[in-house]
Amino acid sequence: MTDPRYAEIETHRPYLLRYAVSQLRDAQLAEEAVQEALVSALESVATFGGKSTLRTWLTSILRFKVIDLQRRAVAERRTFDGGDAAAVAGDDSWLDEAFDETGHWRAPPRAWSDPESALEQRRFWEALERCLDALPPAAGRVFFKREVLGEDTDAICRSEGITPANCWVILHRARVALRACLGRHWFGEVGDGR
Amino acid sequence: MADERPATDCREASRLLSLASERSLTQPESTALRYHLDRCLMCRNFDSQLKFLHEASERLRSGK
């Protein structure tokens, strides 16, 4: 256990867990997939040649574990909860929290100073993780699949059991909420803003 | 005819800005959005922050 990459691999766990949850919609199953993937990764880390990033390599291992668990779940006729996407799309109370009765921002987006440099700071990524965690789970999954994994809307709709219109509503909500969360917790925007 | 513009508020503009990443906006949608953005600094901030979110998401995927 001397390879310095062991410790580095462990730092990717939160991302890997988010990936697994987005695919499996089940926290316990996702945990299982990540655990199995990390064990495989530690066994074969010597074969990682650095052609892709470590995270990409880990994700490709995890992807197989996820598919494996999905097959097993289907075979065992286990059902997933997580039909929550339609409910999230149907709940528009967030709009009244983000916008007033005249349709104006309650907390207007301010210009962010030097956002590019945030990307170089570890604590920014921790803040982003926290903001993603603060979303309703279905919104977090849909945003992750669309923006992070770059899946197309059709694929997302199929896996979440929602319509494209639902998907767009959820993405609108997630983007407004993430912007506000990063504005408040990273870029120093003040609470209500007015 | 007087200058009758669609009354697109920030709520609607933010919806259209998000939607624009998902499908092409119709002509009326994009006209309304442009009209609003020309007059609203806050929604222009929102627009650039959406692009930043997109960039951050891509970096999150690669872990770089």
* The two three-digit tokens of residue B62, written as one number: 């690669």
Average pLDDT rounded to a whole number, residues A89-113: 94
- The yes-or-no verdict on residue A2 having pLDDT over 50 is yes
pLDDT tens digit sequence for B3-52: 455 579 999 999 999 999 999 999 999 999 999 999 999 999 999 999 99
Cα nearest neighbour of B20 on chain A: A168
B18 shares contact with chain A (CB less than 8 Å)? yes
Is pTM beyond 0.95? Reply is no
Q: pLDDT band at A89, cuts 50/70/90?
A: very high
What six digits make up the tokens of A189? 């925007």
Two tokens, residue A18: 């988010």
pLDDT digits (tens, 9 = 90+) for A29-38: 999 999 999 9
Q: How many CA atoms lie within 13 A of A45 on its CB side?
A: 18
Q: Which amino acid is present at A132?
A: L
pLDDT tens readout for residues A141-152: 999 999 999 999
How many helical (H) and strand (E) elements, i.e. helices and strands, does chain A have?
Answer: 11, 0
DSSP letter, residue A110:
P
Question: Which one is predicted more confidently, A75 or A80?
Answer: A75
Contact (CB<8Å) B62/A109: no
Closest CA to A188 of A130, A96, A139, A124: A124
B51 has a chain A CB within 8 A of its CB: no
Closest Cα in chain B, distance from residue A70 (Å): 22
Q: Which residues make Cβ contacts (< 8 Å) with residue A170, sequence separation at least 6?
A: A85, A88, A89, A138, A139, A142, A143, A162
Tell whether A175 lies on the interface with B, counting CB pairs under 8 A. Answer: yes
- Which residues of chain B lie closer than 8 angstroms to A166, CB-CB? none
Apex CA A94: angle with CA A146 and CA B23, to 5°? 35
Separation between Cα atoms, residue A72 and residue A24, nearest integer Å: 12
Instruction: State ipTM.
Output: 0.91
User: What does the DSSP 8-state code read for residue A55?
Assistant: H
C-beta of residue A168 within 8 angstroms of C-beta of residue B18: yes
Q: Among A134-143, A183-192, B30-39, which stretch is predicted with the lowest mean pLDDT?
A: A183-192
With CA atoms as reference, the chain A residue closest to B18 would be: A172
